[in-house]
């Protein structure tokens, strides 16, 4: 199972390795480096090592289209999951499960769900509890494979939830954080006597960027530089430190007229300083400076890669104390390029990130048949996507002051937010235009929030990534560990059984590994169920069973801006309170309908050789009489004071030697004495497999399966060493409900309709023949402006979104 999943990533990685090697060779040839064979070979090695490293852990990304950015407690949150490969952003169908969690401000899970993925897409929902505290929450999503990387690269998005009953609330801003400022030298360090660009970020107590200005002073208090924020509290300035070990400080003037003092990073005596600029259209200039002559005698290697795929590879030589590289922007891939400078020993010296807005996006357009509607009026929505077919998700909700801030789009997330660390304020801004202001803001973002998915030391040392998790390529896995009860030591080589009591028998088995771990493939497991996990307690009753949680226990260190309630929001909050209560009172049953997967009524062992409906026979009160009187395919034996079963082999017409696999509502019972103690009046049917049965690596001498009327084990008491636990499988799909006013009777209904969310559809698809589609829904009784938000992804990796509004007016 794991081998097949890993081979997929190896195959994908080999493709990138070939492309990277060819690209590196062409670049080397074009630059005419035949005389620098040693350096060229070293560069080839770095490129090969990066490709080899990345093929072992092809990154995977998830994006969630969440229906709204603001909720009140008690509402339903809807979302769609898009899964893509982390390099080309094409839909990636390997993982079949996405884990979605809603975290509070202390990063503790409040709600969790396992979402099934089909063709790299999935959909789910959370009902927000009525007692949920007000505050800013984080919704995050990841797959099992993604748990091998840092949690910073899971999908994260801020969600605001307000409890209109006033039960609890978020931490006041004064208790969580104050104003903060951070400083980041370009390339990573400040070096004595070398001019550096220093980027900075200033945030307010709510975690949002704020306007500020300040000066840099040396140890004697002399003003050596000035700075001022630009967009989102970001900015940069030039600074030349005069001496190593000196302490430089920033004195920052805040909007509240207070000052904030922060120290700059330490100044190094020797080292490298990197600077990236765009001196002419279509070209980037990257310069590297050093203060030591012996360092300047070495050539340096520049490698640029976007999402592990090399795009720039060149050798530079110092002239004086500076090496300069000119880079054609057309050679760079869309998104974030990592530029890293190496010395001839392949040691990374400094690094810089550069953002190039994608030149191609999925074009999504939409319009409504009118710009203004009456209440309970039909809206026809026309959507088009191109130039290729795409999968879309659509949300339509009332646009009030609480939900005015747009959430991240799929394009801005995949190309930008997913590859940097921390919260990005208004990521869509960096895609809005190609103006100098936007370019400067993007550069400041790269300088302050850049991050890498790996350490170059691991790449150069050919250190394989530590893979603890593998893609769930067929469905969710239940994993755990079997240990010796007395010592806690691993119990290897033991067959472990998992079943969920039910009238449809489903049994899963695995043999524990040398470390005691086991794993069950639960591809058809949906909703909340009780599971029973146990070994054969007749062989050893001292085993201890533990089932692991599949949810990640690691959390990204990220600060999400808080939502601050002011009197300005009170009318909207009061209105949302009424809306929520009315919907709960009149439509709760209609919003709790689920789409159940197809139910396979055939038991896991297939068609039995014998089948008995006990109601068709005399109802004995003792199970021994039942078995002896009218189940000829099973012989009842008594040895050493204990009962045993022998199933008659239908082929040889002779009894098999050992006890068969005995099940009660799908749960194995290993003690036949307990089987004989069952109340026959609670048993509806009995099935017998009259031949050897192969299940996984186990061979059973037939199967005897009892089914109770209720599928709840009847009066049977489980072995005390068996683990009985409630467990949630894949989330059942909730059906979105919206009333339709397509008849006069419906339009005249006296039931109030105060929906905030008019429409949600996560499964809209365009085709090659018709790249447009038409949808319709009805307005509610609330006048106001409503926004249509569409997100989409094509099979070739193009992503796009659109957003437009229409009005609803009350007709008098």
What is the model's pLDDT at position 21?
Answer: 39
Convert the pLDDT of each residue in 447-487 to its tens digit: 998 777 667 777 777 777 678 899 999 999 999 999 998 89
Residues 633 and 658 in one domain: yes
Say yes or no to pLDDT of 416 above 70: yes
- DSSP readout, 200-237? EEEE-TTS-B---EEEEE-TT--EEEEEE--GGGEEEE
Last residue of a domain, one of 238, 268, 298: 268
Residues 649 and 748 in one domain: no
As a three-state string, the secondary structure of 564-601 is: CCCHHHHHHHHHHHHHHHHHHHHHCHHHCCEECCCCCC
Give domain status of residue 564, yes or no. no
Residue 708's CATH number: 2.170.130.10
Weakest-pLDDT range from 62-76, 242-256, 578-592 = 578-592
Would you place residue 26 in the very low, low, confident or very high pLDDT band (cuts 50, 70, 90)? very low
Say yes or no to pLDDT of 767 above 60: yes
Residues 635 and 675 in one domain: yes
- R_g (Cα) of the chain, nearest Å: 32
Residues 652 and 702 in one domain: yes
What is the model's pLDDT at position 550?
Answer: 97
What is the model's pLDDT at position 13?
Answer: 37
Give Cβ neighbours of residue 113 (< 8 Å, ≥ 6 apart): 99, 100, 101, 124, 126, 728, 731
Residues 704 and 749 in one domain: no
Number of CB atoms found within 10 A of residue 449's CB: 20
Domain that includes residue 743, residue range: 363-408+736-809
Average pLDDT in the chain: 87
Dihedral, 126, 132, 138, 142 alpha carbons, nearest 10: -40
Residue 218's CATH number: 2.60.40.10
3-state helix, strand, coil in the chain (%, to 5): 20, 40, 40
DSSP secondary-structure letter at 248?
A: -
Residues 667 and 724 in one domain: yes
Would you place residue 168 in the very low, low, confident or very high pLDDT band (cuts 50, 70, 90)? very low
Last residue of a domain, one of 268, 289, 312: 268
What is the model's pLDDT at position 349?
Answer: 87
What is the model's pLDDT at position 8?
Answer: 37
Last residue of a domain, one of 202, 234, 268: 268
Instruction: Summarize the confidence of residues 283-287 as an average pLDDT.
Output: 95
Residues 245 and 213 in one domain: yes
Give Cβ neighbours of residue 461 (< 8 Å, ≥ 6 apart): none
Say yes or no to pLDDT of 6 above 60: no
Weakest-pLDDT range from 18-22, 507-511, 659-663 = 18-22
Q: What percent of the chain has pLDDT over 70?
A: 90
Burial 153-189 (b: 16+ CB within 10 A, else e): bbbbbbbbbbbbbeeeebeebeeeeebbbebbbbbbb
Give domain status of residue 419, yes or no. no
Give domain status of residue 621, yes or no. yes
Convert the pLDDT of each residue in 103-127 to its tens digit: 998 999 999 999 999 999 999 999 9
Residues 722 and 744 in one domain: no
Give domain status of residue 82, yes or no. no
Give the total residue count for the chain. 812
**Smallest Cα–Cα separation from 508: which of 519, 516, 517?**
519
Would you place residue 555 in the very low, low, confident or very high pLDDT band (cuts 50, 70, 90)? very high
- DSSP readout, 157-190? EEEEEE-TT----PPPHHHH---EEEEEEGGG-E
Give Cβ neighbours of residue 666 (< 8 Å, ≥ 6 apart): 499, 500, 501, 502, 504, 505, 506, 507, 603, 604, 705
Residues 619 and 703 in one domain: yes
Residues 722 and 673 in one domain: yes
Residues 693 and 619 in one domain: yes
Query: Considering the entire predicted model, what is its pTM?
Result: 0.89
Measured CA to CA in angstroms, residue 59 lies from 154, 489, 514 at distances of 11, 35, 29
Q: Cα separation of 456 and 348, whole Å?
A: 7
Return the axis-axis angle of helices 37-55 and 2-31, rounded to nearest 10°: 160
Number of CB atoms found within 10 A of residue 654's CB: 9
Give domain status of residue 97, yes or no. no
What is the model's pLDDT at position 12?
Answer: 39
Q: Where do the DSSP E strands lie in 240-308? A: 249-253, 259-263, 267-268, 272-280, 283-290, 300-306
Residue 392's CATH number: 2.60.40.1930
Instruction: Summarize the confidence of residues 640-648 as an average pLDDT.
Output: 94
Residues 741 and 723 in one domain: no
Would you place residue 177 in the very low, low, confident or very high pLDDT band (cuts 50, 70, 90)? low
Asked if 590 and 726 touch (Cβ cutoff 8 Å), the reply is no
Specify the 3-state DSSP secondary structure of 413.
helix
* Domains in the chain, number: 3
List 476's β-bridge partners, or say none: none
Say yes or no to pLDDT of 227 above 60: yes
Q: Cα separation of 643 and 192, whole Å?
A: 87
Would you place residue 151 in the very low, low, confident or very high pLDDT band (cuts 50, 70, 90)? very high
Give domain status of residue 310, yes or no. no
Instruction: Summarize the confidence of residues 332-352 as an average pLDDT.
Output: 89
Instruction: Summarize the confidence of residues 387-409 as an average pLDDT.
Output: 86
Give Cβ neighbours of residue 189 (< 8 Å, ≥ 6 apart): 265, 268, 271, 272, 273, 350
Say yes or no to pLDDT of 336 above 90: yes
The two three-digit tokens of residue 137, written as one number = 């929450």
Convert the pLDDT of each residue in 675-726 to its tens digit: 999 999 999 999 999 999 999 888 999 999 999 999 999 989 999 889 999 9
Burial 118-129 (b: 16+ CB within 10 A, else e): eebbbbbbbebe
Give domain status of residue 584, yes or no. no
Convert the pLDDT of each residue in 40-73 to its tens digit: 566 667 777 777 777 777 889 999 999 999 999 9
Q: Cα separation of 62 and 428, whole Å?
A: 18
Give domain status of residue 58, yes or no. no
The two three-digit tokens of residue 301, written as one number = 């290697």
Convert the pLDDT of each residue in 313-335 to its tens digit: 888 888 888 999 999 999 999 99
Say yes or no to pLDDT of 754 above 50: yes
Specify the pairing of strand 309-316 against strand 300-306: antiparallel
Asked if 791 and 78 touch (Cβ cutoff 8 Å), the reply is no
């Amino acid at each position: 199972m794991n081998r097949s999943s890993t081979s997929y990533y190896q195959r994908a990685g080999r493709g990138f390795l070939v492309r990277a090697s060819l690209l590196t060779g062409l670049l080397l040839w074009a630059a005419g480096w035949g005389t620098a064979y040693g350096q060229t070979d070293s560069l080839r090695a770095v490129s090969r090592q990066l490709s080899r490293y990345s093929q072992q852990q092809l990154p995977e990304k998830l994006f969630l289209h969440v229906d709204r950015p603001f909720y009140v407690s008690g509402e339903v949150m809807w979302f769609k999951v898009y899964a893509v490969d982390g390099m080309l952003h094409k839909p990636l169908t390997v993982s079949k499960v996405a884990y979605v969690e809603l975290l509070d401000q202390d990063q503790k899970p409040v709600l969790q769900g396992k979402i099934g993925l089909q063709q790299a897409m999935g959909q789910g929902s959370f009902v927000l509890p009525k007692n949920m505290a007000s505050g800013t929450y984080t919704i995050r999503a990841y797959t099992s494979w993604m748990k091998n990387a840092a949690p910073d690269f899971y999908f994260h998005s801020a969600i605001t939830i307000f409890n209109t009953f006033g039960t609890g609330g978020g931490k006041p801003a004064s208790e969580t954080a104050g104003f903060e400022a951070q400083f980041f030298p370009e390339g990573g360090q400040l070096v004595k006597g070398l001019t550096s660009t220093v980027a900075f970020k200033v945030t307010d107590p709510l975690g949002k960027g704020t306007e500020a200005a300040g000066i840099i002073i040396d140890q004697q208090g002399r003003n050596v530089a000035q700075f001022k924020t630009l967009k989102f509290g970001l900015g940069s300035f030039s600074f030349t430190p005069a001496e190593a070990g000196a302490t430089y400080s920033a004195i920052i003037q805040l909007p509240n007229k207070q000052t904030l003092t922060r120290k700059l990073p330490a100044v190094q005596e020797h080292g490298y300083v990197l600077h990236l600029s765009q001196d002419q259209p279509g070209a980037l200039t990257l310069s590297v400076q050093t203060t030591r002559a012996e360092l300047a005698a070495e050539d340096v290697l520049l490698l640029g890669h976007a999402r592990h795929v090399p795009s720039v590879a060149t050798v530079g030589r110092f002239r004086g104390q500076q090496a300069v590289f000119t880079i054609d922007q057309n050679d760079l891939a869309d998104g974030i390029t990592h530029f890293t400078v190496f010395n001839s020993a392949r040691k990374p010296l400094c690094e810089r990130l550069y953002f190039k807005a994608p030149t191609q996006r999925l074009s999504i357009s939409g319009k409504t048949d009118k710009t203004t509607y009456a209440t309970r009026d039909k809206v026809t929505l026309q959507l088009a996507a191109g130039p290729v077919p795409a999968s879309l998700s659509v949300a339509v909700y009332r646009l009030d002051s609480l939900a005015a801030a747009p959430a991240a789009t799929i394009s801005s997330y995949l190309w930008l937010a997913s590859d940097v660390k921390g919260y990005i304020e208004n990521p869509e801004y960096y895609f809005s235009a190609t103006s100098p202001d936007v370019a400067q803001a993007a550069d400041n973002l790269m300088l302050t929030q850049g991050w890498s998915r790996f350490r170059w030391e691991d790449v150069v040392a050919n250190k394989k990534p530590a893979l603890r998790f593998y893609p769930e390529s067929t469905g969710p896995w239940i994993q755990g560990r079997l240990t010796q009860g007395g010592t806690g030591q691993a119990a290897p080589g033991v067959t472990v059984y998992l079943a969920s009591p039910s009238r449809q028998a489903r049994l899963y088995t695995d043999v524990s590994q040398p470390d005691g771990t086991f794993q069950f493939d639960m591809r058809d497991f949906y909703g909340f169920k009780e599971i029973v996990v146990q070994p054969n307690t007749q062989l050893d009753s001292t085993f201890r069973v533990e089932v692991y949680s599949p949810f990640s226990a690691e959390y990204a260190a990220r600060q999400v801006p808080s939502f601050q309630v002011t009197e300005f929001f009170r009318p909207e909050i009061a209105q949302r309170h009424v809306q929520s209560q009315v919907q709960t009172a009149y439509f709760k049953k209609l919003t709790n309908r689920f789409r159940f997967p197809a139910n396979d009524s055939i038991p896991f062992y297939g068609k039995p050789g014998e089948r008995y409906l006990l109601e068709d026979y005399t109802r004995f009160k003792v199970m021994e009489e039942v078995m002896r009187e009218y189940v000829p395919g099973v012989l009842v034996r008594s040895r050493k004071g204990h009962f045993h079963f022998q199933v008659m082999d239908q082929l040889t017409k002779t009894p098999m030697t050992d006890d068969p696999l005995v099940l009660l509502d799908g749960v194995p019972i290993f003690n036949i004495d307990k089987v004989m103690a069952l109340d026959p009046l609670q048993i509806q049917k009995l099935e017998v497999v009259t031949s050897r049965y192969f299940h996984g690596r186990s061979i059973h001498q037939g199967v005897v399966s009892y089914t109770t009327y209720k599928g709840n084990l009847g009066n049977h008491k489980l072995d005390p060493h068996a683990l009985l636990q409630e467990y949630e499988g894949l989330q059942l799909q909730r059906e979105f409900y919206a009333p339709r006013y397509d008849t006069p009777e419906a339009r005249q209904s006296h039931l109030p309709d105060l929906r905030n969310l008019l429409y949600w559809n996560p499964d809209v698809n365009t085709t090659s023949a018709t790249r447009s589609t038409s949808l319709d829904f009805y307005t509610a009784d609330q006048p106001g402006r409503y926004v249509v938000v569409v997100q989409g992804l094509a099979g070739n990796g193009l992503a796009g979104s659109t957003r437009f509004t229409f009005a609803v007016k009350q007709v008098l």
